[in-house]
Chain A
Amino acid sequence: MRYNEKELRALSQQPAEMAAELSMRGPKKGSVAKRRLVKLVVNFLFYFRTDEAEPLGALLLERCRVSQEEPGGFSISFIEDPERKYYFECCTQEQCQEWMEALRRASYEYMRCSLIFYRNEIQKMTGKDPLEQFGISEEARFQLSSLPRDRRAACVGTQLDELD
């Protein structure tokens, strides 16, 4: 699969939501844990050798599952293959908790869900669609129908309405 590597590298140099030196181990059997600089930028997790400016790699954080692994450690896996895990070890359980929360909220899909949630909240409180001021109220990507079915109910509770 081709991709615009230059732009992705440029993205890795941007200010990060979270950055830390963690111990990281890849999913391949027999892989060894190594110290890496790990940086969360938008919905990508970049990882660098600790003394290098260019990233070794990136993980796109869509459809991922973040799990606690022993105290102070967590893993990232993806829905299609939940046993194939990238392991990370933090200095403290606190740091681990911080990372897990940040990573769970890092996806575009999660951000989209929050937008729909807030939009609905504000609309219920004011009777007005807050996206109108931006001229994007008709934008397909911000409608409830853009979400997978199983996320719609949690976002705005309309599934219960329909059952009445």
Chain B
Amino acid sequence: MTRCSGVGTGPGTMKLNERSLAFYATCDAPVDHAGFLHKKGGRHTASHRRWFVLRGNMLFYFEGPGSREPLGVIVLEGCTVELVEAAEEFAFAVRFTGAHARCYALAAESQAALEGWVKALSRASFHYLRLVVRELEQQLAAMRGTGGDGEVTVPPRRPKENGCCSAVWSAEPPAAGPRCPPLPPRRRRASTPDRPPDSAPFAQLHEWYGQEVRALRGQWLGGQTQP
């Protein structure tokens, strides 16, 4: 695999874990967006039709959909996406700020594709995602803060809901349901006796609930292995 280097190799070129980047580009998790785009090489060069794959805040481009390795990647932090007037139809640009900053001239192959790409790329940055997460974190913390000891007061139309793992017992047990999990009247501590504090960071909550879900699954499935 060729060594990953920025535009213009030479002394002072940054190293990047290009092998892992390539694996991330081609792994079989769902992609955020993919399709053909025409990419202009430079101001006076022609466009090349490339297969683009958006994953998180990384926009990879390949020779084609079957390529095993990306030709390149555009890190999408600190950019704007805008429609542009160009000779090409369905043209748009990914523009970075700062002196001598790069501007990627791209073109989609239909109006629908253009709109899809502009939407997908505008919201692709990590910064944006983090903003939304923080907002939701605050909302959730504010809600829990008004719940006394933290137990959620459940609105009547969702009597089963009570915290993250309510899904475990959210179904009413059918009359004859040999595969149905036991339905306790309130949240049961499975293998982990301590609740995390309601203001716990997501990481802790994620880990804690994940443990409990795994333990409960193990219990009511009689220890069968899961696919």
Tell whether A pairs with B: yes
Closest to A76 in B: B17
Contact: A148 with B29, CB < 8 Å? yes
A132 contacts the other chain (Cβ, under 8 Å)? no
What residues of B have a CB within 8 angstroms of the CB of A131 in the complex?
Answer: 132
Question: Chain B residues near A154 (CB, 8 Å)?
Answer: 206, 209-210, 213
- B83 CB–A CB distance under 8 Å: no
Minimum C-beta distance from A19 to chain B (A): 17
| Separation of A8 and B71 alpha carbons in the complex (Å) | 17
Count how many chain B residues have C-beta atoms less than 8 Å from C-beta atoms of the other chain: 83
Q: Closest 10 CB pairs between A and B? A: A5-B6, A57-B15, A157-B167, A108-B56, A2-B72, A118-B136, A42-B126, A164-B171, A154-B210, A78-B20
B46 at the interface (CB under 8 A from A): no
Beyond A43-B126, A108-B129, A164-B180, whether A121 also contacts B164 by CB under 8 A is yes
Q: Tell me if B84 counts as interface (CB < 8 A to partner A).
A: no
- Contact (Cβ within 8 A) B143 A153: no
Q: CB of B190 within 8 A of chain A?
A: no
A63 touches B133 (CB 8 A): no
Q: Bound state CA distance, A112 and B206, in angstroms?
A: 13
Is A33's CB within 8 Å of the partner chain B? Answer: no
Cβ-defined partner of A7 (8 Å) among B4, B13, B75? B75
**Nearest Cβ in chain B — how far from A98, in angstroms?**
12
Would you list 12 pairs from A and B whose C-beta atoms are within 8 A, ordered by A residue? A4-B75, A59-B20, A60-B24, A107-B56, A108-B56, A114-B133, A120-B164, A124-B161, A131-B132, A134-B135, A136-B132, A164-B177
Query: What 0/1 pattern do residues 147 to 190 of B give for CB contact below 8 A with A?
Result: 00000100101100100111110110010010111000000000
Q: Which residues 8-66 of A sit at the B interface, judged by CB distance below 8 A? A: 8-11, 42-43, 54-60, 62-64
User: Which of B85-93, B98-106, B107-115 is the interface stretch?
Assistant: B98-106
**Closest approach, in angstroms, between the C-beta of B172 and any C-beta of chain A?**
9
Are B136 and A122 in contact, CB atoms less than 8 angstroms apart? yes
Q: Flag whether B217 is at the interface (Cβ < 8 A).
A: yes
**CA of A163 to CA of B171, assembled, Å:** 10
How far apart are the CA atoms of A161 and B213 in the complex, in Å? Answer: 12
Interface of A is mostly: helix
Segment 7-65 of B: residues with Cβ below 8 Å from A: 7-8, 12-24, 27, 29-30, 32-33, 55-58
B171 and A161 contact, CB distance less than 8 A:
yes
CB of A67 within 8 A of chain B? no
- Between A5, A140, A148, the greatest number of chain B beta carbons within 10 A of the residue's beta carbon is seen for A5
**How far is the CB of B55 from the nearest CB of chain A, in Å?**
8
Q: How far is the CA of A78 from the CA of B18 in the complex (A)?
A: 11
- Beyond known contacts A117-B205, A148-B30: 8 more, CB 8 A cutoff: A1-B22, A6-B101, A63-B23, A81-B19, A108-B129, A136-B132, A141-B124, A147-B29
> In the complex, what residue of chain A is closest to B217 when comparing beta carbons?
A160
For the complex, would chain B's binding face be called helix, strand, loop or mixed by DSSP majority?
A: mixed
Once bound together, how far apart are the Cα atoms of A107 and B24, in whole Å? 12
Task: Let me know if B129 and A115 touch, CB within 8 A.
Answer: yes
Given contacts A3-B73, A42-B77, A109-B56, A60 and B155 within 8 Å (CB-CB): no
What is the CA–CA distance of A15 and B98 in the complex, to the nearest angstrom? Answer: 16
Tell me if A101 counts as interface (CB < 8 A to partner B). yes
Using Cβ atoms and an 8 Å threshold, which residues of chain B touch A62? Answer: 20, 24, 55-56, 58
Whether a CB of chain A sits under 8 angstroms from the CB of B195 is no
Interface string of A119-136 (1 = CB under 8 A from B): 111101111001100101
